[in-house]
Amino acid sequence: MKGPAIFLAQFADDKAPFNSFENICKWAASLGYKGIQVPTWDARMIDLEKAAKSKTYCGELKGIAKENGLVISELSTHLQGQLVAVHPAYDLQFDNFAPKAVHGNSKARTKWAVQQLKYAAKASKNLGIKAHATFSGALIWHTMYPWPQRPAGLVEAGFKELAKRWLPILNEFDKNGVDLCYEIHPGEDLHDGVTFERFLKATGNHKRCNILYDPSHFVLQQLDYLQYIDIYHEFIKMFHVKDAEFNPTGRSGIYGGYQDWADRPGRFRSLGDGHVDFVSIFSKLTQYGFKGWAVLEWECCIKDSNQGAIEGAEFILDHMITPAGRAFDDFAGQKSNDKLNRKIMGL
């Protein structure tokens, strides 16, 4: 495992040091981070189309990062990926994720989003990156708690259409040698293990269809996030280190009562302030040979972001594990000996 890295999306701002790629690299490095995950929708951080078309430009970005002791760990298209599949009920809210030129035109917006993902595949290759972060979007999320009941075949039709939209993108990522990692997240049609399996099957088990693992979203769903690693570790190619807590009451539970984040039973917290068992998570990921980056995604409704970033680097470092090079009881062992083994078995 590599780290610590930091996702820049929650920190980018018009004020220094968060207002340019160079400035934010200096800031991240000063806190002890070794990698940066870059949000591709933010022009202050990267010109995605230029990165897809110019290896020289990508070299410049890598050079800026390297001057500060950093590497670009991954690119993210969370906002663009969301727009690959949007139910009309959410059109007005999600229009803000796209350029004004396609607002009010869902077909044009989807076409723009698909092109953005294809740019991201090429940009990742140009930057020497092997994994990419995104959202799946959602066509049937509004039927998650079905009333009235879902018509027979709706779920199957929904995942068939979702896969149809993503297959050309997955193929582009395969062409560029990059794994596409969907963040498993409420609000997306890929929000737990079962829905990931449905999508994977609908894509014909596409080899580039993988997972960005973020335990915070499983705490809020009350899903077993440790067993999730046991089941899906072969697909987990990216890791967001984000904390959360769940404190249900007699007044509110998983759905949150439309309350602001600070008042919800389930809420995101800075690292170490929530309920996530990171000791077990880092142990399991190391056990299964995870070789990606441990990336802080800071979201907290209580603590200041700068404090969260400062504490986050040290937190990740404290939890990273160097895989064992030998068994702890090797000192008491014997060399392989077939005759001895047969004697021990009484043969």
User: Which residue type does 170 have?
Assistant: L
For the CA atoms of 191, 194, 200, 205, the dihedral, rounded to the nearest 10 degrees, stands at: 150
Provide CB contacts within 8 A for 92, sequence distance 6+: none
- Domain ranges in the chain are 2-344
The predicted pLDDT at position 217 comes to 98
**For 189-199, what is each residue's pLDDT tens digit?**
999 999 999 99
Pairwise CA distance, residues 317 & 127, whole Å:
25
Is the pLDDT at 294 greater than 90? The verdict is: yes
What 3 state SS string does the chain have? CEEEEEECCCCCCCCCCCCCHHHHHHHHHHCCCCEEEEECCCCCCCCHHHHHHCHHHHHHHHHHHHHCCCEEEEEEEHHHHHCCCECHHHHHHHHHHCCHHHCCCHHHHHHHHHHHHHHHHHHHHHHCCCEEEECCCECCHHHCCCCCCCCCCHHHHHHHHHHHHHHHHHHHHHHCCCEEEEECCCCCCCCCHHHHHHHHHHCCCCCCEEEEECHHHHHHHCCCHHHHHHHHCCCEEEEEECEEEECCCCCCCCCHHHCCHHHCCEEEECCCCCCCCHHHHHHHHHHCCCCCEEEECCCCCCCCHHHHHHHHHHHHHHHCCCCCCCCCCHHHCCCCCHHHHHHHCCC
Which tokens sit at 87?
């139910």
Residue 337 — pLDDT band, cuts 50, 70, 90?
A: confident
Lowest mean per-residue pLDDT among 189-193, 262-266, 270-274, 329-333 = 329-333
The predicted pLDDT at position 14 comes to 97
Pairwise CA distance, residues 269 & 277, whole Å:
13
Contact predicate 173/121, CB 8 Å: yes
Q: Does domain 2-344 have CATH number 3.20.20.150?
A: yes
* Number of neighbours of residue 333 by Cβ within 10 angstroms: 9
The predicted pLDDT at position 247 comes to 97
Is the pLDDT at 327 greater than 90? The verdict is: no
The predicted pLDDT at position 334 comes to 75
Q: What percentage of residues in the chain have a pLDDT greater than 90?
A: 94
Lowest mean per-residue pLDDT among 122-136, 156-170, 272-286, 313-327 = 313-327
Is the pLDDT at 326 greater than 80? The verdict is: no
> Which residues on neighbouring strands pair with residue 267, listed in sequence order?
245
CA angle 13, 19, 22 (to 5 degrees): 140
Q: Give the mean model confidence (pLDDT) for residues 15-40.
A: 98
Question: For the chain, how far is it from start to end, CA to CA, in angstroms?
Answer: 44
**For 1-14, what is each residue's pLDDT tens digit?**
999 999 999 999 99
Tell me the pTM.
0.96
Is the pLDDT at 329 greater than 90? The verdict is: no
Is the pLDDT at 175 greater than 90? The verdict is: yes
Q: What average pLDDT does the structure give for the chain?
A: 97
Q: Give the mean model confidence (pLDDT) for residues 28-53.
A: 98
**For 206-255, what is each residue's pLDDT tens digit?**
999 999 999 999 999 999 999 999 999 999 999 999 999 999 999 999 99
